[in-house]
Structure formats: C-alpha cells, structure tokens
Chain A
Amino acid sequence: MVAPNTGDSTPAKVATRDLSVWYDDEQALKSISLDIRHNELLGIIGPANSGKTTFLRTLNRLIDRTPGIRVSGQVRLDGRDIFQDIPVEELRTRVGMVFALPVPLPMSVFDNVAYGPRRHGIGNRKALAELVEESLWAASLWDEVKDRLDEPAMNLSGGQQQRLCIARALAVQAEVILLDEPCSGLDPVSTSMVEDALVGLKENHTIVLVTNVIAQAARISDRTAFFLMGELIEVDGADKLFTLPADERTAGYIEGRYG
C-alpha cells in the first residue's frame, strides 16, 4: 500500500504504525504508517475529509475529546508509546498544536504566552518574562508586539495572532509543532510571515504542517505526505513529490483533479 518511508537511518521523532481511527462506525484513518524525522518540516496535503486533521489531532491526543472515537495502532514519540508510556499532559506539552483559525485566549498578549508555563508551575515573574520574550522572538513576533504586551491579544492582526499561537506552544518548550492549515484565514503578506517563522523554527523543532495550499507545502516543506480518503498515498521529498509523484492519484491531486 505505502512504500516504506523508513529508509532514513536516523530514528524518527514521531512514528505511527498501522494507525487507524474511527468516528463511531466511520473510519477516518486507515492504517497509517509514517515516520516524522527529527527537525524536519513535514507537509501534509490532500483534499477535504482525507483525514489530515484527524491525523494531527491523534498525534497529541486532542482526539480523545471526541465522543465515539476509537483508535488502533501505535504512535511513538522518541520511541515511547503516546497512549501508554507518556502522561497526556506531558505529551501535549511536547507536541504543541496550532489551529486553523488563530485562537487567542481572551487575555493580554503576555498572559497568552505565559499561560502554558504558568500551568506548569513557573510563577517567577522574571523567568516568565524571559520565557515570553524568547518564545515571541522564536515565533518572529517580538519586534511587532514588544510594546503591546499588555494589550488584549484580540487586538492583534490575524497573522500576528497566529504567530502568537505558535509562540504560545513554544513557551512550553514544545518539541513537535502541529499546524492545521494555519494560514487559511490569512492574507498573503501575513502568510509569508508565518511561513518565515516556521522555516526559522525548523532548526530546533519538528514541524508537521497540514495545508490545503499545495504551493505552500512545495515552498517550505522538506518532505510532503499526500492523504486521500483516510489513506497515506505517498510521502517523499518535496522536490520529488511535486515533480515526479510515484502514485497517479498524487499527480491527479497536484494537477487539480480532486479540487
């Protein structure tokens, strides 16, 4: 079904084996086996309802919240099973999530970034301030908001809000960042700023970017995976997948046959 994608010898950061997910009786993911490598930016493309979002939400177990959900197969983070070996709070701290529409919490910019660390027991004001600055810096947002830290986060522009959400995940020292179509509500300028931030983060983070814009995956991902109807059709280096896809369904999607 899927060409082995474990050719690389470095151990995977996140590895799924035969991962299937059902919503009640409907199967949303069909036996996905995929390795996500250390510090790569993996793009995931595919038409609507192909299981991309379900896949992301499984990786940090947000999917647990969905009523009627059933999961089979394995997901390992640094070799440990995320369903058995890692407490869910630790998992979600290490595997952060950025949603399609930016969701600033109704509090100040500073409090948004400090939200996670505070929950994990960091109360020292100086330590928090440093952490917030670092995270905003890493999300390429510091220069724009350094004078507005006390303003409600709702006042920021859409692109700034989305980078704030990235900073928020970075503040709890996320190692893996999952992004679910993070630019779907943004204008081109904001989009390119978010993309720049992501490319900058690659150095120290593993990034999984679900996108419905094929060009975005082509622009910034190292490898790209193509999902269709809950199946992983193929995964390959971006240069290859977009020029010489192995599967004709991939070619069809890239040429725009699935809409």
Chain B
Amino acid sequence: MNAQRSEKLTFALLLAATIIVVLPVLVIIGIVIKNGVGAITWEFISTAPRDGMRAGGILPAIVGTFCLMIGAMLFAVPLGVFSAIYLNEYAGDNLLTRLIRLAIINLAGVPSVVYGLFGLGVFVMFFKFGTSILAGAMTLSIMNLPVIITASREALSNVPQSFREVSLSLGATRWQTIRHVVLPNALPGILTGIILEVGRAGGETAPILFTVAAFSLPFLPHSVFDQCMALPTHLYAISTQVPNIGLDVRYATAMVLLAVVLIVNFFSIMLRMRLRRRRQW
C-alpha cells in the first residue's frame, strides 16, 4: 500500500516536471501573439521599412527568408538524399561508413555560429560570392545536411528489404530498384526531414549574420549575389541595435518569424502522422 502511494506521488512529480518542460513553449508563443498581433497590418507585411526601421513593414525580410529557405534546400536536398542513398543502398558496414557516420554526427553538433565563420571564410571570401543570398544559402545548406542525411537514411532503411529483392529478382538494376521501388516508398519520410530543415533554415540567425544579412535594405533582392534582409537577423537588429523601436513592432516581427517556422513544422508533423497511419507494410 505504501509503495503504491509513493509510486503515485512519484508519477505525479514526473508529470509536473514534464509540464514544466513543455509549458514555457506555449507561454512564449502566447506572449508573442498577445503582444505582436496588434501591430500586424497589411502594411506591415507588404511594405519595406522606413525611418531607420522604426516605421513601415518587413516585406524585404520576409522575402529574404523565403529566398534563403529555398536556396538552402536547392543545395542540401540533392546532396543529403544522395548521400543517404549511398550510405543505405550502396555502402556496407566498414571503416569508411563509420567515418562518414562520425562526420555526420560531428556536423550535427557544430555550433551554428561556427557555420557562420565557415561560410564567411569559404563562400564569402574564398569563392568571392561576397555577402550574398548565395553564400548564406550554401552556409545554411551545410548546416542542414546532417539532419537531411539522417532522416533520409532512416526513411530508406524503413523500406522492407523484400521490396528490393523483388525488384532485383525481376532483373532491374540497382539504380532502377532505388528509383522505382525504394525512393517512392521512402519519400514521405524523406520529406518529413526536409521540411523540418526548411523551418530551421528559416529561423537560424548566426550562420547568416556575416554571410547574407543586410542590416537594413529596403529593397527586394534581384539576384543571388545580392545581400538581403532576413526575419531572424532583422529581429536581432531591431531588438539590440536600434533604439526607440516600439515593443509591439518587435513582437510583431517575432510573431511573423514564429508563424513562418511553426507553419512549416506543422506540415512536417502532419505528414509524419499521416505516414505512420497509412503505412501498409
């Protein structure tokens, strides 16, 4: 009886701890919406900033963030998915693949600001892209690689071996088997990982701080070699570098950024849930 009562108490404590872990997120989202929603107008999301960013809107930052998200994926998706195909479909378990695995784990752990340094050294300086959308997108894509590789690899390895054997036993080549049996069935899982990283690319600040970001640039970018504004760097700038900006404008910027990132994440979660329910094998 005593043991049971203390067990109940323990479980209640565990539940309390869990709530303390999860609750702050909801509080944060709540605070941002409550304080930001008032400043969100059509003008705010459809025009460029004026008066040293104290008035006007944040359209260039929104456009810049979308450019970076798309640009990062253009590099990261083919590289990441092909890399996962290599690891799961071609390579065996040997010293080389263990090294690759270690490299992936290590890449995943590198601080985002170190990616920023790398992007500055390699893309901005060495390849002379300058501070530009191209340099930032490539920096972000390398940061996105480990998750895309890992998620894709997992999705590939969830496709039953028997499907591969059927395809091969009908005389299909290895690539045909991957292309027509493995990839179609791994696609939802791969997409889940990709979408998750789209959100991350949109929300990261440190990697683009010295590779793309313009402090204030009230135009839309014209080419990949242009600098651009982005939502996270904009929020950082108006929060720390520009005095006398209305708190509601800052909250509204945070809210737009949060909305972009959370909507993207929502798609990823939905896709995964559907996938789990629909799996037929």
Contacts and interface: CB of A to CB of B under 8 A. Distances in A.
Q: Are A and B close enough to touch in the complex, i.e. CB under 8 Å?
A: yes
Interface of A: 60, 62, 65, 67, 89-93, 96-97, 99, 101, 103, 105-106, 115-116, 118-120, 152, 154, 165, 168-169, 172
Given A67-B93, A99-B162, A106-B185, A168 B280 contact: no
A103 B172 contact: no
B170 A93 contact: yes
B25 to A, nearest CB: 37
A62 B171 contact: no
A99 B166 contact: yes
Contacts of B172: 89, 115-116, 119
22 contacts: A60-B169, A67-B92, A67-B93, A89-B171, A89-B173, A91-B171, A92-B168, A92-B170, A97-B165, A101-B162, A103-B163, A103-B166, A105-B163, A105-B167, A105-B181, A115-B167, A115-B172, A116-B170, A116-B172, A118-B180, A119-B171, A169-B169
Interface in B178-197: 180-181, 185
Contacts of A105: 163, 166-167, 181
Nearest to B94: A67
B10 interface: no
Contacts of B166: 99, 103, 105, 165, 168
Contacts of A101: 162
Given A120-B171, A169-B169, 12 more contacts: A60-B169, A89-B173, A92-B169, A93-B170, A93-B171, A97-B165, A99-B162, A103-B163, A103-B165, A105-B166, A116-B170, A118-B180
Contacts of A119: 167, 170-173, 176, 180
Interface residues of B, number: 20
A67 B97 CA distance: 15
Contacts of A93: 170-171
B170 A168 contact: yes
Residue picked from A89, A96, A118, most chain B C-beta under 10 Å: A89
Nearest to B92: A67
B169 A96 contact: yes
Nearest to B162: A103
B7 to A, nearest CB: 44
B170 A96 contact: yes
Contacts, number: 65
Interface of B: 92-93, 160, 162-163, 165-173, 176, 180-181, 185, 280-281
B111 to A, nearest CB: 37
A116 B185 contact: no
A92 B173 CA distance: 10
Contact of A169 (B93, B167, B170, B173): B170
A116 B92 contact: no
A7 B227 CA distance: 83
Contacts of A169: 169-170
B165 A99 contact: yes
Residue picked from A101, A103, A152, most chain B C-beta under 10 Å: A103
Contacts of B281: 106
Contacts of A62: 165, 168-169
A120 B170 CA distance: 9
Contacts of A67: 92-93
Nearest to B179: A119
A88 B173 CA distance: 9
A169 B166 CA distance: 9
Nearest to B279: A106
A5 to B, nearest CB: 26
Contacts of B169: 60, 62, 92, 96-97, 169
A65 B165 contact: yes
B64 to A, nearest CB: 41
A97 B169 CA distance: 6
A64 to B, nearest CB: 9
Contacts of B176: 119
B278 to A, nearest CB: 10
B115 to A, nearest CB: 36
Interchain residue pairs A-B with the least CB separation, the first 9: A93-B171, A116-B170, A97-B169, A119-B172, A92-B171, A103-B162, A89-B171, A119-B176, A103-B166
